[in-house]
Amino acid sequence: MTKSKRKDSGLAILAFGGNAIIRKGQSGEIHTQFANTRRVLQGVVSLVQNGSGLIIVHGNGPQVGNELFRSQLAASEVPELPLGVLVADTEGGMGYMIQQCLQNVLWKNKLKKPVVTILTQVVCDKNDPHLYEPTKPIGRFFSEADAKRLMNDKGWVMKEDAGRGWRLVVPSPRPVRIIEDDTISMLVEAGIIVIAGGGGGIPIVVEPNGDFEGQDVVVDKDFTASLIGHHVGADTLIIATDIQQVALNFNTPQQVNLSRMTVSEAQRYLNEGHFLEGSMGPKIEASIRFIESGGDRVIIAAPDRIAAAIRGEAGTTITSD
């Protein structure tokens, strides 16, 4: 498949996590999720006003974890749904929410841009060791005592998540191909804002006979955003996360915030262990992949600082050497 050549007014990929929609301490009530989504999307208005194309990739960590928990609680009444199907469910439901919120935000700014959500299947390598190693935290936070009970009762693998509590962790393989990538490219070329790869995309593997087979894992949305960005020829990847800037020695007295990094610096810091696997690590690795495959820059910033970060006034910007 060929990479899109759209570079006229720029093309940006915005990737934001499910934690931007259900924030720490919130129950996840749906009206709150809509309100949080509207706040995140305010930051993209300037991009659209300037004529940039836009693709949105969102995470679903809290949401799909909650759906899995809900499915298990109701197992005595209705059949349980596997994790892969729940990823598809959240991609559709969250896509609707983001699509509607973005339409409202744009229209209030007199921007009548069409927006569409694409259910996106993401191919994973059957030999990827990440397919079998739980590293990706999903769902809500639990106390250590509750986590130990769930590990014992349900056989869950749970880990402490950056001082915020214990969460279920599941395998998170790296995406290698996007099934709908040419469709996404055609929509972008037509001037349509596309929401794709929601929750990192619906994870599948390709069987020897060519059949697609779903997988009960969660793909990291930042890797998927980087892969989509490469195919469509995006120049900017924006990763919205719950910190103001990328930092070395995070959460220690020696913490150093970074406003800019080159790819080689990012790789060195990653190798030195500054960015953890279940936290900033995938974001930095995805950023490196995006720039090395042709992207111009990556911006990592808090959701409410996206517009300022685009101007270089906030967040962390990563560029080529």
189 and 238 Cβ atoms separated by less than 8 Å: no
Of 59, 136, 139, 200, the active-site residue reads 136
Of 221, 229, 278, 295, the active-site residue reads 221
What pLDDT, on a 0 to 100 scale, did the predictor assign at position 2?
42
The enclosing H or E element of 99 equals helix 83-108
Alpha helices by DSSP H, 211-314: 221-232, 263-271, 281-292, 306-310
Is 136 a known active-site residue? yes
299 and 266 Cβ atoms separated by less than 8 Å: no
pLDDT string in tens for the chain (321-residue length): 344 444 456 899 999 988 888 887 788 899 999 999 998 898 889 889 988 999 999 999 889 988 988 988 898 899 999 999 999 999 999 999 999 999 999 999 999 899 999 999 999 999 999 888 898 888 778 899 999 998 998 888 999 887 778 988 989 999 999 999 999 999 999 999 999 999 999 999 999 999 999 999 999 999 999 999 999 999 999 999 888 999 998 888 999 999 999 999 999 999 999 988 767 888 999 999 999 999 999 999 988 888 899 889 999 999 998
Laid out side by side, the sheet with 175-178 consists of: 175-178, 121-124, 202-206, 212-214
The enclosing H or E element of 100 equals helix 83-108
* Superfamily name with CATH number, domain 11-128+176-319: Acetylglutamate kinase-like (3.40.1160.10)
Domain residue limits, the chain: 11-128+176-319
Pairing verdict, β 166-171 and 158-160? antiparallel
Is 283 a known active-site residue? yes
Of 18, 84, 139, 197, the active-site residue reads 18
Q: What is the DSSP letter of 190?
A: T
CA 40 to chain centre: 13
Q: What is the DSSP letter of 133?
A: S
Neighbours of 297 (CB within 10 A): 19
Q: Which residue in 294, 281, 170, 319 sits closest to 228, CA to CA?
A: 294
Of 60, 283, 295, 315, the active-site residue reads 283
Helix (H, G, I), strand (E, B) or coil at 230: helix
Is 152 a known active-site residue? no
Is 127 a known active-site residue? no
Of 17, 19, 229, 295, the active-site residue reads 19
Give this prediction's pTM: 0.89
Structural tokens at position 219 = 């793909």
Q: What is the pLDDT of residues 134-184, one digit of tens each?
A: 988 887 788 999 999 989 988 889 998 877 789 889 899 999 999 999 999
What pLDDT, on a 0 to 100 scale, did the predictor assign at position 93?
96
Is 191 a known active-site residue? no
Cα–Cα distance measured from residue 222 to residue 58, given in angstroms and rounded to the nearest whole number: 9
What pLDDT, on a 0 to 100 scale, did the predictor assign at position 278?
65
